[in-house]
Amino acid sequence: MTGRVLLLLGTKKGAFLLESDAGRRDWRLRGPFCETWPMNHVLADPASGAIYAGGGNEWFGPAVWKSADLGATWSHSSAGLAYAEGQDPVRSVWSLAVADDALYAGVEPAGLFRSVDGGASWSHVAGLSEHPSRAEWHPGGGGLILHHVVTQPGDPQRLWVAISAAGVFHSADGGASWEPRNRGTRNDYLPEGQRYPEVGQCVHSLVMAAGRPDRLYQQNHCGMYRSDDGGREWRSIEAGLPSTFGFPAAAHPRDPETLFLLPLNGDQKGRYVPDGKAAVWRSRDGGASWQDLRAGLPQKDAFFGVLRQALATDPLAPAGVYFGTSGGELYASADEGDSWRCITAHLPAILSVETLALDG
């Protein structure tokens, strides 16, 4: 029985936690944590309750911070979180993921690291950096970043990563070898006739459907896509959306057909919510149709964006949905997006949102 819900926020100036009971009406904010370092991604291992925060500081470099007591105390480590001497150093940690057997960290410049001791030390998953396409990876607007790591519950050998701008890659052998999985995703920034390359797409978000590990959803710089075969083939599901551009996607905790998006107006139009009106878009049929959800969200003069990791669901029933804005506001729905409230309004720019449900 869920007793408490935590929202884990990465911001441009530190990590923050919001906590409520299962009713999700009244939220208490704690933070900033992590010495106000920029924290790109904060998540929890639901098995242990440990909170991890990945980021980097212009002065002191990259690190993964950890709290084993729900934020009361923190430690940090970057032991092993480095490329070989002479290579461009790791600047920052951009994404974290908990697998059955390891913790993963995606970094800038794009690469993947693994920890098997709860974040105390890290080893480079060199197979990805050694992929023959590596020379063709080019930085997107946020840098050459590995911003999503997707793991498969029950099969830790299967991994997917999303890199801007290189695309999606998959490993079936725990990271030893990788193959691109971008077929069917478009790159509008290439000459006509060359817009479906093997690599080089600017994926923005990659999520797995609940209980269906071969179904992946992808928000791309150029379109919204679904795959039903682990990313081998993608098909567009953008019909009915107000824009092909956006950053985040969030899967429902139980229903593989339900997905939440937050489309923005376009990459050269400010990257705001369209027409200054905020909406989360929900599909209940795997992307065949979309519904805009606006109740409680600002419907005039809203000029914020929502970044690639800043939309999340919680595992309660009905599921909670949350997003954090570039302006430091956090909006929450306790009814799968039907209605919304702003639950905190004056944080630094929010980079990521994750949830943790606690018993008792």
Q: Should residue 77 be labelled a site residue for another protein when binding is judged by CB under 8 A?
A: yes
Position among 60, 100, 141, 189 found at the interface with another protein (CB under 8 A): 60
Selected range binding another protein among 82-90, 206-214, 216-224, 328-336, rule: CB under 8 A: 82-90
Q: Which of 74, 118, 110 is nearest to 94 (CA)?
A: 110
CB atoms within 10 A of CB 259: 27
Q: Does 211 sit near another protein (CB under 8 A)?
A: no
Asked if 63 is part of the footprint of another protein (rule: CB under 8 A), the reply reads yes
Q: Is 15 in the site for another protein (CB under 8 A)?
A: no
- Would you give the binding string for another protein spanning residues 86-115, x where CB under 8 A is met? xx-xx-------------------------
When asked if residue 257 is in the footprint of another protein (CB under 8 A), the reply is: no
Q: Which is nearer to another protein, 81 or 210 (CB)?
A: 81
Please tell me the distance from the alpha carbon of residue 8 to that of residue 222, in angstroms, as a whole number: 29
Q: From CA 150, how far away is CA 208, in angstroms rounded? A: 7
- The answer to whether 22 contacts another protein (rule: CB under 8 A) is no
For another protein, give the closer residue by CB, 90 or 99: 90
Cβ-based nearer residue to another protein, 94 or 225: 94
Q: Which residue has the tokens 């071969």?
A: 214
Q: How far is CA 303 from the centre of its chain?
A: 21
| Contact (Cβ atoms closer than 8 angstroms) between residue 207 and residue 248 | no
Does residue number 255 form part of the binding site for another protein (CB under 8 A)?
no
> What's the one-letter identity of residue 15?
A
- CB-based contacts of 3, cutoff 8 Å, min separation 6: 21, 22, 358, 359, 360
Options 58-66, 146-154, 225-233, 269-277: segment touching another protein (CB under 8 A): 58-66
Q: Does 82 bind another protein (CB under 8 A)?
A: yes
Determine the distance from the C-alpha atom of residue 331 to the mean position of all C-alpha atoms in its chain, rounded to a whole number.
17
Task: Please list the helix, strand and coil fractions of the chain in percent, rounded to the nearest 5, in that order.
Answer: 5, 45, 50
Tell me the number of residues near another protein by CB under 8 A.
19
Distances from the Cα of 193 to the Cαs of 49, 190, 245, in angstroms? 49, 8, 21
- Smallest distance, another protein to C-beta of residue 310, A: 19
- Cβ proximity to another protein: between 34 and 356 the closer is 34
Q: Taking a C-beta distance cutoff of 8 angstroms, is the pair 350, 324 a contact?
A: yes
Residue 58 interacts with another protein (CB under 8 A): yes or no: yes
Our finding on whether 85 is near another protein (CB under 8 A) is: yes
Q: Does 35 bind another protein (CB under 8 A)?
A: yes
Sole residue written with tokens 């999700």: 24
Distance (Å, rounded) from C-alpha 8 to C-alpha 146? 20
Size of the chain, expressed as the number of residues it contains: 360
- Please identify, among the stretches 59-67, 93-101, 161-169, 264-272, the one whose residues bind another protein according to the rule CB under 8 A: 59-67
Q: How far is the CB of 176 from another protein (least distance, A)?
A: 23
83 forms part of the interface with another protein (CB under 8 A): yes
What is the C-alpha separation between 205 and 24, in angstroms, rounded? 26
Q: Minimum CB separation from another protein for residue 178, in Å?
A: 22
CB of residue 138 to another protein, shortest distance in Å: 22
78 binds another protein (CB under 8 A): yes
d(CA 92, CA 300): 36
**Residue numbers of the site for another protein (CB under 8 A)?**
35, 58-61, 63, 76-79, 81-87, 89-90
